């Protein structure tokens, strides 16, 4: 159409301007970054000192002492209620905590120095005992390293001997954090305060969040994920509170007028970052499970109102799903979940005591959005998957945190689909992770999924690893591998992997080795490590270009900044189908151009590559094939798999952004939406068009753009009208998502039907503002 092509030229010009300025920004950042890092000394992993006078470690603990267990006593002095005493103006609250710990360890190499981690703690009274001979070894000095290592260095008068067992006792005190780190305070209101300064309704609780390097701020410890140990924990807390820990309670008794002592069973052998406890007045809701006692703790008011019920209903089912999926039982007798008023991140998988932000766990019938159940289900499924991937089997070092997070994300697709099949959210989750990863990984500043250990040393560098590459690319790459080797073979491999590495640590090569074992046993030929190396150890992903007239295909590193030089290439599994043939798998295993029969359109049929988008790459075609696919989408979209209907739009827009296709093609890829009812293609189009809308805001093109969008959305808006006009929502979640999208697009682009509906609802609510049920209903769609 003429109008479209007029828009397209302007769009193309704007693209060039925007892309050039973005590229200039990225280049400046890279130059600055390179200048910055060239002045820094790299911090290589320390080697064992060969004698007791060897070089001191730099950032990582030496492996000459291996912890086996800890006895930890902790006494947070916090009150859960402020009790104002007559004539005392300041309340009685205190943020102090005290404690002591004894770590039992084996010496594997002679040394007279003990290095462990301690941060923001005042440590005193060190006692080192040779457990084999029951002899005290005198300590000469205790020194904190005032740098990023957070080392506590303990010099001894005599050396520790190899193959002997020792213990180190330390007393310590510290402050409960008010910044959601380490051991921290959180607060909430119980009931309604009588007046502004009424503190009677205020309640406090103590909670922990250690990942990645904050256990050292609660007790001195060997705070690295590989240095696993068993923890014997005792919490001394105010008598009117309850303490929860990683393991079940062994006993609890009042030890003083004001204090209670709660002792826990030993934890499984685990990493320090999984250590957790809470002290609160919370109450619980049970979940059914034949073997594990599952409880969901929350504020007493929320428990009484049943807000934890939805979480409790699905938790036992999710746990059972994983137990049968992995063929390994959850390895503790209890599993607590707790909804904290404050927590950063959204949730943390501490073994046996999973913490959540309240909003991620609580559901209020009639008030919470129906779609909020998805958020709760996906969060619980993610954290429970960690009980195996992360807690039972842990990455050796933080550079491979994707082994935890990628798996938890990937497994949660299946768990949610199992417990809430009616949500039909699997495709939505996959598409969302795919988009997130695609977006981040198309920047020249992206990073490999699995960088070198040496590049991830300081706490800051470790925290930076918790990004969308780790979570989303991690999950998508696992999904691709499962598709290559077959999901059944993949699952067999990970079962063996989990079992053989239980209570241990792994590197990604261990995973490849076990999937390979399953492939070999099944008679497959995929070389897992060789293929996967290109996806996990290289930055980015490719775009595959297919010419269907002669069957030529080649790959190229996909970058928004197309002028970036890259010689990277990947082992690319391509599932390909046409409108006359079923899907088959073809490999592109070279950096050059090759010709393959499967990609030739012999009698004018369309060819579709990356069927179901199981591969982590984009696809470009010759113009004729694009047109054939777009025509198919307009005439009978269901011939093209749903994932591809969304992805064709996403690819077209992103290829245009990288200047690999004309922007007209991107806009044309939305032609079929006039008749499309499914959520994924719409979500993809709306997300991509948002970029255009933002660009044209306040320009003369904004008007034509709105007309274009109104035209596209009218059909679907009318489809949902029977629900929207009556403040109702459709049955399935995918339609609910789509109804929200469609109302948003329709009203923000001035579709008259939508504007009338919104005005009518608002007027109705204004006239009857004591009863805002209708507004609530609009909100919950």
Residues that bind Zn ion (CB under 5 A): 405, 408
CA distances from 675 to 283, 357, 646, 742, 745 (A): 51, 40, 14, 13, 16
Q: Can you name the residues that pair with 283 across neighbouring β-strands? A: 298
Residue nearest to Zn ion (CB): 408
* DSSP structural state of residue 333: S
Q: Which is nearer to Zn ion, 470 or 555 (CB)?
A: 470
* Closer residue to Zn ion in complex, CB, 265/466: 466
H or E stretch at 647: helix 642-657
> What's phi and psi for 548, nearest 5 deg?
-80, -5
Min dist. Cβ of residue 471 to Zn ion (A): 7
- The first and second tokens of residue 717, run together, are 């808006």
- The answer to whether the beta carbons of residues 384 and 354 sit under 8 Å apart is yes
Give the HSE-up count for residue 636: Cα atoms under 13 Å, Cβ half-sphere: 2
In the complex, the smallest distance separating the C-beta of residue 476 from Zn ion, rounded to whole angstroms, is: 15
Nearer to Zn ion, 386 or 435 (CB): 386
Range list of H helices, 97-203 = none
- Ordered DSSP codes for 359-422: HHH---TTTS-TTHHHHHHHHHHHHHHHTTBTTTEEESSGGGTHHHHHHHHHHHHHHHHHH-GG
The encoded tokens of residue 584 equal 């088959």
Alpha carbons 356 and 436: distance in angstroms, whole number: 23
Q: Which residues contact 373 (CB under 8 A, 6 or more apart)?
A: 310, 363, 420, 423
Q: Cβ 466 to Zn ion, closest distance in Å?
A: 8
Nearer to Zn ion, 274 or 745 (CB): 274
List C-alpha distances in Å: 673 to 446, 637, 716: 33, 10, 9
Minimum separation from the CB atom of position 385 to Zn ion (A): 8
Which is closer to Zn ion, CB of 170 or CB of 478? 478
Angstrom distance (rounded) from CA 90 to CA 78? 15
727 neighbors 735 (Cβ within 8 angstroms): no
Which residues belong to the active site? 383
Distance from first CA to last CA of the chain, Å, rounded?
36
CB closer to Zn ion, 405 vs 651? 405
Q: What is the DSSP letter of 227?
A: S
Spatial separation of the C-alpha atoms in residues 613 and 643, rounded to whole Å: 6
* Beta carbon nearer to Zn ion, 318 or 709: 318
- Distance between CA atoms of residues 560 and 76, nearest Å: 51
For Zn ion, the closer of residues 401 and 661 by Cβ is: 401
How would you classify residue 710: left for phi > 0, otherwise alpha for psi between -120 and 50, otherwise beta?
alpha
Least Å distance, CB 355 to Zn ion, is 12
The least CB distance from residue 381 to Zn ion, in Å, is 11
**Smallest gap from residue 360 Cβ to Zn ion (A):** 12
As measured in angstroms, the least distance from the Cβ of 469 to Zn ion is 14
Give just the sign of the alpha carbon dihedral 636, 641, 646, 649.
negative
- Pick the closer one to Zn ion by CB: 336 or 650: 336
* CA distances, 519 to each of 33, 462, 512, 527 (Å): 42, 33, 10, 9
**Number of Cβ within a 10 Å radius of residue 597:** 8
Quote the least distance from Cβ 389 to Zn ion, whole Å.
Answer: 9
In whole angstroms, how close is the CB of 335 to Zn ion at the nearest point? 16
Nearer to Zn ion, 215 or 689 (CB): 215
Q: How many residues does the chain have?
A: 781
Q: Which is nearer to Zn ion, 408 or 778 (CB)?
A: 408
3-state secondary structure at position 656: helix
Q: Quote the strand ranges of 222-276, DSSP E.
A: 230-238, 242-245, 249-254, 259-264
User: Of all helices (H) and strands (E), which one includes residue 564?
Assistant: none
Separation CA 191–CA 200 (nearest Å): 9
What is the per-residue burial (b if ≥16 Cβ within 10 Å, else e) of 417-434?
bbbbeebebebbbbbebb
Closest listed residue to residue 551, CA positions, set 596, 504, 618: 596
Q: Which two tokens stand for residue 710?
A: 């109104």
Is the CB of residue 388 less than 8 Å from the CB of residue 498? Answer: yes
In the complex, what is the shortest distance from the CB of residue 511 to Zn ion, in angstroms, rounded to a whole number? Answer: 17
What is residue 597's DSSP assignment?
Answer: G
* Nearer Cβ to Zn ion (384/484): 384
When the beta carbons of 358 and 405 are compared against Zn ion, the nearer one is: 405
Closest distance of CB 395 from Zn ion, Å: 12
Order of all β-strands in the sheet with 202-209: 182-189, 202-209, 277-280, 242-245
Q: Is residue 413 within 8 Å of 390, Cβ to Cβ?
A: no
Minimum CB–partner distance for residue 379 and Zn ion (Å): 9
């Amino acid at each position: 159409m003429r109008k479209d092509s007029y828009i397209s030229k302007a769009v193309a010009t704007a693209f060039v301007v925007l892309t050039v300025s973005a590229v200039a920004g990225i280049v400046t950042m890279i130059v600055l970054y390179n200048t910055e890092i060239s002045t820094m000394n790299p911090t290589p992993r320390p080697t064992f000192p060969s004698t007791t006078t060897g070089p001191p470690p730099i950032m990582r603990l030496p492996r000459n002492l291996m912890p086996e267990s800890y006895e930890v006593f902790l006494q947070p002095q916090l009150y859960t209620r402020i009790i104002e005493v007559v004539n005392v103006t300041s309340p009685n609250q205190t943020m102090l905590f005290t404690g002591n710990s004894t770590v039992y360890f084996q010496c594997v190499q002679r040394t007279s120095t003990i290095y462990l981690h301690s941060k923001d703690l005042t440590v005193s009274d060190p006692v080192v005992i040779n457990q084999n001979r029951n002899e005290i070894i005198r300590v000469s000095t205790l020194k904190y390293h005032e740098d990023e290592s957070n080392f506590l260095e303990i010099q001894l008068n005599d050396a520790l001997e190899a193959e002997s067992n020792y213990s180190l006792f330390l007393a310590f005190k510290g402050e409960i954090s008010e910044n959601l780190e380490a051991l921290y305070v959180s607060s909430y209101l119980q009931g309604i305060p009588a007046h502004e300064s009424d503190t009677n309704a205020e309640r406090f609780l103590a909670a922990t969040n250690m990942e990645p390097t904050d256990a050292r701020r609660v007790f001195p410890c060997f705070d690295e994920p590989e240095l696993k140990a068993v923890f014997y924990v005792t919490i001394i807390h105010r008598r009117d509170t309850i303490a929860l820990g990683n393991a079940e309670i062994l006993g609890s008794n009042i030890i003083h007028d004001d204090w209670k002592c709660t002792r826990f069973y030993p934890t499984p052998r685990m990493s320090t970052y999984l250590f957790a406890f809470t002290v609160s007045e919370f109450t619980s809701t049970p979940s059914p499970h034949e073997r594990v006692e599952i409880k969901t703790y929350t504020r007493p008011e929320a428990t009484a109102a049943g807000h934890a019920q939805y979480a409790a209903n699905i938790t036992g089912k999710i746990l059972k799903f994983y137990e049968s999926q992995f063929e390994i039982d959850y390895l503790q007798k209890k599993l607590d979940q707790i909804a904290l008023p404050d927590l950063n991140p959204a949730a943390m998988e501490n073994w046996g005591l999973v913490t959540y932000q309240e909003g991620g766990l609580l559901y209020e019938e009639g008030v919470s959005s129906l779609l909020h159940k998805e958020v709760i289900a996906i969060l619980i499924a993610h954290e429970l998957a960690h009980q195996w991937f992360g807690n039972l089997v842990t990455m050796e070092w933080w550079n491979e945190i994707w082994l935890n997070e990628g798996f938890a994300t990937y497994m949660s697709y299946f768990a949610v689909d199992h417990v809430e099949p009616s949500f039909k959210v699997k495709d939505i989750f996959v598409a969302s992770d795919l988009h997130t990863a695609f977006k981040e990984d198309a920047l020249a500043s992206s990073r490999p999924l699995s960088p070198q250990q040496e590049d991830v040393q300081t706490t800051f560098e470790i925290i930076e690893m918790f990004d969308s590459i780790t979570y989303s690319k991690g999950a998508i790459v696992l999904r691709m591998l499962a598709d290559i080797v077959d999901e059944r073979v993949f699952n067999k491999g990970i079962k063996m992997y989990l079992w053989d590495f239980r209570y241990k640590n792994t590197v990604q090569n261990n995973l490849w080795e076990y999937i390979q074992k399953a492939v070999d046993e099944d008679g497959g030929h995929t070389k897992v490590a060789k293929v996967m190396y290109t996806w996990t150890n290289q930055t980015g992903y490719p775009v595959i270009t297919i010419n269907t007239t002669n069957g030529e295909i080649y790959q190229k590193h996909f970058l928004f900044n197309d002028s970036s030089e890259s010689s990277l290439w990947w082992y690319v599994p391509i599932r390909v189908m046409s409108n006359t043939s079923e899907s088959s798998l073809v490999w592109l295993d070279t950096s050059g151009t090759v010709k393959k029969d499967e990609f030739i359109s012999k009698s004018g049929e369309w060819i579709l590559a990356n069927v179901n988008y199981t591969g982590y790459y984009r696809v470009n075609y010759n113009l004729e094939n694009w047109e054939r696919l777009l025509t198919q989408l307009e005439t009978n979209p269901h011939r093209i798999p749903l994932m591809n209907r969304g992805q064709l739009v996403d690819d077209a827009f992103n290829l245009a952004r990288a200047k690999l296709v004309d922007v007209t093609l991107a806009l044309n890829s939305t032609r079929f939406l006039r008749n499309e009812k499914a959520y994924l293609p719409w979500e993809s189009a709306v997300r991509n068009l948002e970029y255009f809308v933002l660009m044209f805001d306040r320009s003369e093109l904004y008007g034509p753009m709105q007309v274009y969008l109104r035209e596209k959305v009218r059909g679907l808006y009318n489809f949902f009208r029977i629900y929207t006009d009556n403040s109702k929502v459709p049955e399935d979640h995918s339609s609910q998502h789509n109804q929200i999208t469609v109302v948003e697009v329709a009203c923000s682009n001035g579709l008259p039907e939508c504007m009338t509906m919104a005005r009518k609802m608002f007027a109705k609510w204004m006239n009857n503002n004591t009863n805002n049920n209708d507004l609530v209903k609009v909100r919950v769609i």
